[in-house]
Amino acid sequence: MYELLQKYISNRTQINDEQMDFICSFFKPMQTKRNEILVRYEEICQQYYFVNKGCIRIFTINKEGIETSRFFAFEGGFGTALPSFIDQQPAYEYVQTIEKSELLVISRTDFYYLVTTIPEFGLIYRAILELGFITAQKRIYGFQGFDALEKVKWIIENQPHFLLRVSNKMAASYLGISPSTLSRIKSKL
Amino acid sequence: MYELLQKYISNRTQINDEQMDFICSFFKPMQTKRNEILVRYEEICQQYYFVNKGCIRIFTINKEGIETSRFFAFEGGFGTALPSFIDQQPAYEYVQTIEKSELLVISRTDFYYLVTTIPEFGLIYRAILELGFITAQKRIYGFQGFDALEKVKWIIENQPHFLLRVSNKMAASYLGISPSTLSRIKSKL
DNA sequence: TAAAAACGTTGACATAGGACAAGCTTTTTC
DNA sequence: GAAAAAGCTTGTCCTATGTCAACGTTTTTA
């Protein structure tokens, strides 16, 4: 149950078994269904999710009804409505498991308790933030001024499994192109 | 010389005068010219810059020669090629002062020394990362699926001084539209 | 397992906005 | 302070990609 999480932590910092168990004790298992919503648009996010199995999607819907997906967390990754989790404002986005999933959940209170109490866990959080920031920058550079074909090539290059794992519709909403265009591009390789 | 920096720090954490002076002692003043490049494309970023006066731009140029600006730091803000600063890979972007500027510079070594030595400074760094992350997410949502007019309205809403402070060309490269389009949109309000 | 719903693909059409160029204005340089 | 360079605006033209619709396929539901 906790192997993946332990691997995530021990890959990123030195920690003894006792502390590891202590940290893990704050994460509660949770089963979710396909398309289950974990955080709604108006809600304030109080939980951080680690994906043991399945997949989490973070997305929003604008006033015209257009969906934009901003992040997918697969097995072994963390995901949540982080801006809301951080500053406790309404999320203005959704957190959803797009497949039947098995998660490990920690409350915000416990999470920040660990961050401030256990320096090694503070480092983990810093690493999450640093990686999140770098990923976002790459995405900005990777998408801006690129045409649809270049975006698709970019995602194949940077996240090879992505197109195989998520639906056309969701992939398109991540890439910022229409499903038709994505479909046409894929048919031409 | 250090007032703005001290304000930045004391606005974000509790700290005594001695520690404040200790922190500031690592920041060295630096004068730059208009359009001076501080970090080049292939370089590994070793410095963090605080803007006392003037403006820093972070941008890249892709193989087709198209510029994309990803961040501007104005008076009282921090800016650098953060992904490179963090992971010590080539920047693949430029750091530039777009006006004659007055900066306070800290080396990466000193910066991380402060982060790990002074818990309050660790908090500052965490706040920088959290804010950077949140800003990047807003930008992704704010730009994806928006047409040119909506992007311009978005920037006016979210960074009212932006269009007044930077050239059309740079603003356009930030918004991901052509200078002509930006010009046309501005003429229609 | 049958009906309904969601999804993917493809064609026809419409359009936002990019490219390019010309002319004007502002800024820089020497 | 004159010449050169850079930047801004605006016109014309063109193309990439969005929209919409039709159809076939897969998935979900009951």
How far apart are the two ends of chain A, measured CA to CA in Å? 39
Strand C neighbours (CB under 7 Å) are: A 167-169, 179-180, 182-184, 186-187; B 34, 66, 147-149, 176-178, 180-181
Q: Which residue of A has its CA nearest to B135?
A: A83
Q: Please write the tens of the pLDDT for every residue from A157-179.
A: 999 999 999 999 999 999 999 99
Choose, out of B82, B117, B125, B140, the residue to mutate when testing the contact with A (most A CBs < 10 Å): B140
Distance, Å, A178 CA → C13 C1':
16
Min mean pLDDT across A175-189, B36-50, B91-105, B135-149 is at B135-149
Min mean pLDDT across A61-65, B130-134, B137-141 is at A61-65
Query: For residue A52, which amino acid is it?
Result: N
| Average of per-residue pLDDT across B48-58 | 95
Q: Which of A78, A71, A76 is nearest to A94 (CA)?
A: A71
Given the DSSP bridges, would you call strands B78-79 and B67-73 parallel, antiparallel or unpaired? unpaired
At A37, list the tokens: 């919503």
- Which residues, including other chains, have CB under 8 Å from residue A15's CB and lie 6 or more apart? A9, A23, A120
Question: Are A176 and B144 a contacting pair at CB < 8 A?
Answer: yes
The confidence band for A31, taking pLDDT boundaries of 50, 70 and 90, is very high
- Give CA separation, B97 vs A100, B21, B40, B85, in Å: 50, 26, 12, 18
Q: Please write the tens of the pLDDT for every residue from A45-92.
A: 999 999 999 999 999 988 788 899 999 999 999 999 999 999 999 999
Pick B133's closest partner by Cβ from A66, A133, A139. A133
The confidence band for A112, taking pLDDT boundaries of 50, 70 and 90, is very high
Beta bridge partners of A68: A60
Confidence at residue B62, expressed as pLDDT on a 0 to 100 scale: 82
Question: Are A137 and B62 a contacting pair at CB < 8 A?
Answer: no
Strand D proximal to B12 Cβ, under 7 A: no
Question: Are A176 and B133 a contacting pair at CB < 8 A?
Answer: no
Question: Are A138 and B62 a contacting pair at CB < 8 A?
Answer: no
Strand D proximal to A149 Cβ, under 7 A: yes
The confidence band for B15, taking pLDDT boundaries of 50, 70 and 90, is very high
Confidence at residue B73, expressed as pLDDT on a 0 to 100 scale: 95
The confidence band for B125, taking pLDDT boundaries of 50, 70 and 90, is very high
H-helix or E-strand containing B115? helix B108-117
Q: What CA–CA distance (Å, rounded) separates B142 from A60?
A: 11
- Torsional sign, CA B157, B159, B165, B166: negative
Which protein residue's Cα is closest to nucleotide C6 at C1'?
A169
Q: Which of B64, B56, B53, B108 is nearest to B83 (CA)?
A: B108
| Average of per-residue pLDDT across A7-24 | 94
The beta-strand segments (E) located in chain B are 28-32, 36-39, 47-53, 56-61, 67-73, 78-79, 94-97, 101-107
Q: What CA–CA distance (Å, rounded) separates B22 from B113?
A: 12
Confidence at residue B7, expressed as pLDDT on a 0 to 100 scale: 95
Q: Which domains does chain A have, with CATH numbers?
A: 3-119 (2.60.120.10)
Taking 90 as the threshold, does the pLDDT of residue A37 lie above it?
yes
At A155, list the tokens: 């995602």
Distance, Å, A64 CA → C18 C1':
25
Confidence at residue A168, expressed as pLDDT on a 0 to 100 scale: 96
Confidence at residue A128, expressed as pLDDT on a 0 to 100 scale: 93
| Average of per-residue pLDDT across B3-15 | 94
Taking 90 as the threshold, does the pLDDT of residue B168 lie above it?
yes
Q: A74 burial class (0-12, 13-18, 19+ CB within 10 angstroms)?
A: middle
DSSP A64-128: T--EEEEEEE-TT-EE--HHHHHH-S--SSEEEESSSEEEEEEEHHHHHHHHHH-HHHHHHHHHH
The confidence band for B1, taking pLDDT boundaries of 50, 70 and 90, is confident
Confidence at residue B109, expressed as pLDDT on a 0 to 100 scale: 97
| Average of per-residue pLDDT across B5-21 | 94
- Which residues, including other chains, have CB under 8 Å from residue B53's CB and lie 6 or more apart? B75, B101, B102
Min mean pLDDT across A137-146, B13-22, B40-49 is at A137-146
Q: What does the radius of gyration of chain B's CA atoms come to, in whole angstroms?
A: 17
- Which residues, including other chains, have CB under 8 Å from residue B80's CB and lie 6 or more apart? B39, B45, B47, B48, B49, B58, B95
Inter-chain CB pairs, A–B, below 8 Å: 80
The fraction of chain B above a pLDDT of 70, given in percent, is 100
